[in-house]
Amino acid sequence: MNGAAFSLLALLLAAIGLYALSLRIAVPYPILLVLGGMAIGFVPGMTQVRLSPEVVLQVFLPPLLYHAGYYSTPRELRRHFRPIALLCFGLVLVTAAAVAAAGHYVAGLSWPVALALGAILSPTDSLAATAIASRLGVPRRVITLLEGEGLFNDATALVLFRVTVAAVVAGTGSFDAGRALEQFTVGTAGGVLVGLGAGWLVGELRARTSDPVVGVTLTIFGAYAAYHAAEHFGFSGVLGSLVCGLYLGWRIPAVATPASRLLGKPVWQMIVYLLSAALFLLLGLQLRPMLAALTDFRAVDIVVVAALLAAVVVLTRVAWMLLVPHMLPRAERLVVGWSGMRGAVSLAVALALPVHTASGAPFPDREAVILLAFGVVLATLVVPGITLPILIRATRVARTDGGDGDAEARARLTATEAAMVHLEQLVLRDGLDQRTVGRLEDVYRYRRDELANRAGVLQDAAHRQRAERAASLELVDVQRHTLLRLHREGAISTDVLHRIQREFDLQHALLLANPDGGRREPPGFHGDRASWRGWVSRR
């Protein structure tokens, strides 16, 4: 086996092992990936690699950005627009300036290079923070704030990054604020329009295909098409992919087939994880050659400066959250302030630094900037990531509104009641025999009563045979349409929509898998995800 093949197998094994370990010890996988990436570069026999900056931007970023947009909730983002905007614009610029000042005066980087480092480290990655916060039951508005910030601060940071890098590459050595504002305005407007156009096109194509493989492949196409089309016209590819994801996250639940939705979620989870793992682990393979290539810095200098920059990043964020007016209680602001972890996007942008300037000279301090970025990502993921649960418990930040749980129970109950009303219409329209009607009524009455008990009311909810199967499929569709209406009206969040819709899709797939009749729903099924998975696994 040659060195390249060995390295590839080792990376795949590391990716599998780290994800399995993250599930076992209940630690968000980005934390383990950054630690694994740091260690893997020093494994004997690993082949040294150098990622092309173009590959990083054009291959890694679009799916990561699209996926973040798809699982966001536009209505909640709009509701919390002011604090999200303050974080996405104000805090990004303040953080970039603070990091640049530290990089210039402490590490001796030139101002344009220091500003590029500030742009790299200014956007947050909300994945680890929201995973921890959701598990510990913090208010939904805190999670929305973190998701919204992580969604849009990339655009601000990347515009700043491009302007500063362009100054270094061109050899001007100056930062043009007017040019940056112009690029941001034009790039933002154009990126949004291209993203909407790409999303509309993919949505129309999705509505015209029932094949799940084609449907999911179209979403992958949309992520890349939005990014590259926007970049082709000189707009923001970041916003192109984000807006395409936002649009399709709103449109696809209504137009995609159940089979497409069931296939899409695990496929996208795998894509995002593999890309994130590849970024962290491939960077690990570059650590040794980068350290060897350092001229003006020693390894100990990198560690000290990275620790200082991480402190600047964290303290700037905490101070911003405590001093700048926000529409959050003080304890929640402290939790948001401590949740500013950096992740895959910062690494991708760092690796996208050009190798040479326009004159052909090496890009100044490129290796040092990448290593410093990796060090800050490591510090901000590991330290806040491990201590955030302690802070959440200490500040007693907990949901007082029932969170998504109450809304989810009410949505299930409303959808079930809509199916029972439609069952009466089916009896008149299709003349179902009394035995079939009785079984279906028993199923949905039992389910309604179980859900009503959890929602604070008293009421009840099953399926069989060819006529029964057709009726059951129609009732599932009615529930799905009711669920979409509740989402459009703002009664439930996108998370609740996807959770319940997945169960309806599973019911739909199970009914289709039994052409001679559906299976009766056992008394052990209570309408929730755990019961459904247990029931399916027993069959």
* pLDDT, mean over the chain: 81
CA pair distance 534, 265, nearest whole angstrom:
20
Task: Answer whether residue 124 shows pLDDT above 60.
Answer: yes
Q: Please work out, in degrees rounded to the nearest 5, the angle formed at the alpha carbon of residue 446 by the alpha carbons of 456 and 509.
A: 110
Predicted TM-score of the model (pTM): 0.74
pLDDT classification of 305: cutoffs 50, 70, 90: very high
What number is the average pLDDT over the span 360-383?
90
Asked if 110 and 133 touch (Cβ cutoff 8 Å), the reply is no
8 Å CB contact between 100 and 131:
no
Of residues 535 and 427, the one with the higher pLDDT is 427
% of the chain at pLDDT higher than 70: 85
Whether 362 contacts 389, CB under 8 Å: no
Q: Is the pLDDT of residue 326 over 80?
A: no
Nearest alpha carbon to residue 229 among 221, 153, 276: 221
224: closest CA among 156, 177, 271, 174?
271
Radius of gyration (C-alpha) of the chain in whole angstroms: 25
Given a contact cutoff of 8 angstroms between Cβ atoms, the answer to whether 421 and 432 are in contact is no
Question: Running DSSP on this structure, what letter comes out for residue 362?
Answer: B
pLDDT band at residue 56 under the 50/70/90 scheme:
confident
Cα end-to-end span (Å), the chain: 43
pLDDT, tens digit, 9 for 90 and up, residues 167-209: 888 876 666 667 767 777 888 899 999 999 999 999 999 989 8
Per-residue pLDDT at 412 exceeds 90 = no
- Domains of the chain in sequence order: 3-395 (1.20.1530.20), 403-538 (no CATH)
Q: Where are the alpha helices (H) located in 233-257, listed in sequence order?
A: 237-255
